[in-house]
C-alpha cells in the first residue's frame, strides 16, 4: 500500500516504500519522518534516549551481579507473599506485571477512541489507565516498605547476601517507578484536557501554547507503553534471573 | 475505512491547512487486534511466571525467559506502539540504535568475569566456586 503525503499545496504525492523509501525520506528536503506528527517523532526520540538510560542500568546490574562473590538473594523468595497461609513465590511481581499490561491495554483503547473523537470513552480509558498505573505504584511502595522495614535491605547492603542487590534494586525499580508516577500525572492532565474538550476545540495548552489535538493522546500512549516495555525487561532480568 | 470518512468530515469542518494536515497522520486500527495482543501479553507473562514457579533451571530457563521477554517487547512495540504501521525511515531510526546495547552487554560480561576472577585471586578463595571457571546463576 502506498501512503500519500500531503504537499503544501494539498495534492497527494506518492511515497516510495522499502529501502528506496528510506533513502528518499532521509534525503528529502522536507522532514525525514513522513506521515508522523512532530510530537510523536520527538517522543520516539526521547524514548530512544530513555532506552539507553534503562539499558545502562540493566547492564550495570548484570555486571555487578556477575562479578560479586557474595551469594545473591533469591528474588523468587524475597518477593514471595503469604496468601491464605501459603507462601507463593514472586506473586506480588506477577500481579504488578498483569496490572501494568492491563494499563497498556486500556491505553491503546484510549488512543483508538481518541482518533474516533469519542470524548467520553477516551476520558474513561485514560482515567482507567491512570488508576491502574497508580495501583502499580502503590504495590511498588508496598514492596519497598516490606523490603526496607521487614527484610532490612538498604541501597548499601542487605542481610540476605550481596550488597549489590539493594543498590541495583532500589536504583532500577525506583527509576522505573518514577517514570510510572510521572506517567500517571500526565495521564490525568491529558484526561482532563479530553473531558473539557480542549482537544476537539484545539485550545492552546497552558505550558507550550500548542493547539490541542488527539495525536497528543497517542504520544502520551507511546510514553505509557514504553514504561510497560521497560517493566518487561526488568521483570525478566531482575526478578526471573 | 471509517478513518478515511472521519477524516473528510473533519477536514470539511476545519478547512484551514495546519489542523487538517494533522488528522491524516493518526493511527486508526480495528479494536480486535489490540484485544488479541493484550491476551497474548497475558499468556506470555503467565508463561514467564510459570518458568519461575516450576523452578525451571539452567539453559532452558534462560532460553524461555529471554524468548518470552523478546516476544512481549516485540508485540508492545509493533502493535501497541504502532511500529508495524510506521514508515521504515522512522522504524530503523528508532530500532537500530538500541542494538548498540548488545555491545555494552558483551563488554560488561567480559569485565564482570575478569572482576570475579581477580576478586577470587586477591580477596581469598570464593565461597564455593573455583576461580578459574566462574559460574553464574
Instruction: Please state the domain extents for chain A.
Output: 1-35, 37-239
Euclidean distance between the first and final Cα of chain B, in Å? 52
Question: Mutate which of B7, B10, B21, B26 to test chain A, going by most A C-beta atoms within 10 A?
Answer: B26
> What confidence category does residue A95 fall into, taking pLDDT thresholds of 50, 70 and 90?
very high
CATH homologous superfamily of domain A37-239? Cytochrome c oxidase, subunit III, four-helix bundle (1.20.120.80)
Q: How far apart are CA A50 and CA B105, in angstroms?
A: 17
Q: How far apart are CA A134 and CA A128, in angstroms?
A: 10
Percent of residues, chain A, with pLDDT higher than 90: 59
The pLDDT score that the predictor gives to residue A31 is 84
Answer whether B135 touches A (CB < 8 Å): no
β-bridge partners, A161: A158
HEC string of A150-180 equals: HCCCECCEECCECHHHHHHHHHHHHHHHHHH
> What confidence category does residue A193 fall into, taking pLDDT thresholds of 50, 70 and 90?
very high
Q: Is the pLDDT of residue A172 over 80?
A: yes
Nearest residue in chain A measured CA to CA from B58: A241
Q: How far is B90 from chain A (nearest CA, A)?
A: 6
Whose grid coordinates read 553464574?
B136
Q: How far apart are CA A45 and CA A49, in angstroms?
A: 6
pTM of the model: 0.85
Mean pLDDT of A35-56: 94
- Of residues A177, A155, A171, the one with CA closest to residue A56: A171
The pLDDT score that the predictor gives to residue A7 is 54
Check: CB of residue A52 under 8 Å from CB of residue B94: no
Whose grid coordinates read 490541542?
A212
Q: Is the pLDDT of residue A205 over 70?
A: yes
Question: Mutate which of A9, A44, A220, A237 to test chain B, going by most B C-beta atoms within 10 A?
Answer: A44
β-bridge partners, A158: A161
Cell matching residue A132:
491502574
Q: What is the pLDDT of residues B92-117, one digit of tens each?
A: 999 999 999 999 999 999 999 999 99
The pLDDT score that the predictor gives to residue B134 is 52
Which stretches of chain B drop beneath a pLDDT of 70?
1-26, 124-137
Do A232 and B81 make contact, defined as CB atoms within 8 angstroms? no
Amino acid at each position: 500500500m502506498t501512503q500519500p503525503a500531503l504537499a503544501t499545496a494539498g495534492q497527494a504525492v506518492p511515497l516510495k516504500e522499502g529501502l528506496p523509501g528510506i533513502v528518499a525520506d532521509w534525503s528529502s528536503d522536507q522532514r525525514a519522518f513522513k506521515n508522523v506528527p512532530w510530537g510523536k517523532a520527538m517522543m520516539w526520540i526521547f524514548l530512544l534516549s530513555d532506552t539507553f538510560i534503562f539499558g545502562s542500568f540493566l547492564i550495570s546490574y548484570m555486571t555487578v551481579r556477575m562479578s560479586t562473590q557474595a551469594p545473591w538473594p533469591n528474588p523468587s523468595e524475597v518477593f514471595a507473599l503469604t496468601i491464605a497461609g501459603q507462601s507463593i513465590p514472586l506473586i506480588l511481581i506477577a500481579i504488578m506485571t498483569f496490572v501494568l499490561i492491563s494499563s497498556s491495554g486500556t491505553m491503546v483503547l484510549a488512543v483508538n477512541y481518541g482518533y474516533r473523537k469519542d470524548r467520553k470513552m477516551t476520558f474513561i480509558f485514560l482515567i482507567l489507565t491512570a488508576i491502574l498505573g497508580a495501583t502499580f505504584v502503590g504495590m511498588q511502595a508496598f514492596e519497598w516498605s516490606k523490603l526496607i522495614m521487614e527484610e532490612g535491605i538498604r541501597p548499601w547492603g542487605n542481610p540476605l547476601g550481596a550488597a549489590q542487590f539493594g543498590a541495583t534494586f532500589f536504583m532500577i525499580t525506583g527509576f522505573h517507578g518514577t517514570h510510572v508516577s510521572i506517567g500517571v500525572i500526565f495521564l490525568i492532565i491529558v484526561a482532563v484536557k479530553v473531558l473539557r474538550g480542549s482537544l476537539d476545540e484545539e485550545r492552546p495548552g497552558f505550558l507550550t501554547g500548542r493547539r490541542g489535538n488527539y495525536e497528543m493522546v497517542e504520544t502520551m500512549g507511546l510514553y505509557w507503553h514504553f514504561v510497560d516495555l521497560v517493566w518487561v525487561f526488568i521483570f525478566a532480568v531482575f526478578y526471573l534471573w | 475505512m471509517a478513518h478515511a470518512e472521519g477524516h473528510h468530515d473533519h477536514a470539511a469542518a476545519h478547512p484551514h491547512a495546519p489542523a487538517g494536515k494533522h488528522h491524516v497522520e493518526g493511527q486508526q486500527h480495528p479494536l480486535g487486534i489490540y484485544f488479541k495482543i493484550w491476551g497474548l501479553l497475558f499468556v506470555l507473562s503467565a508463561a514467564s511466571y510459570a518458568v519461575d514457579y516450576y523452578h525451571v533451571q539452567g539453559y532452558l530457563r534462560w532460553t524461555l525467559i529471554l524468548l518470552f521477554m523478546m516476544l512481549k517487547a516485540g508485540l508492545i512495540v509493533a502493535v501497541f506502539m504502532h511500529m508495524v504501521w510506521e514508515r521504515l525511515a522512522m522504524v530503523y531510526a528508532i530500532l537500530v540504535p538500541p542494538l548498540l546495547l548488545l555491545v555494552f552487554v558483551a563488554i560488561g560480561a567480559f569485565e564482570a568475569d575478569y572482576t570475579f576472577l581477580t576478586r577470587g585471586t586477591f580477596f581469598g578463595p570464593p565461597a564455593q566456586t573455583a576461580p578459574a571457571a566462574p559460574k553464574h546463576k
